[in-house]
Structure 1
Amino acid sequence: MSRRTTWEDNSCPIARAADIIAEPWTLLILRNATAGTTRFEDFRAQLGIADNVLTTRLAKLVERGLMTKLPYRDGGRTRHEYRLTKAGSDALPVLHALGAWGDAHTSSETAYGPMQLVHCACGELTRPGEKCDACGKALVRDDLAWRGSWLSEGEIPLADPVGW
Structure 2
Amino acid sequence: MHCKAISALGPSGIDWKEFHNGLAIETTIHGLGTYLFGVVVILAIHAILQAGRPSGSYCGAPDIPSKGNGTVKVTITSDTAFDISASWTPTNGTEKSGSETGVPYKYDASTSDLTVTDTTKLQDLINKIGAPLKASDLAKLHYDGKDLHVVNLDNFALTPC
| Greater per-residue helix proportion | 1
The higher-RCO structure (CA 8 Å, 6+ apart) is 1
TM-score tier after normalising by the smaller chain length: under 0.3
TM-score normalised to structure 1 length:
0.22
Higher-Rg member (1/2) = 2
TM-score normalised to structure 2 length:
0.22
| Greater per-residue strand proportion | 2
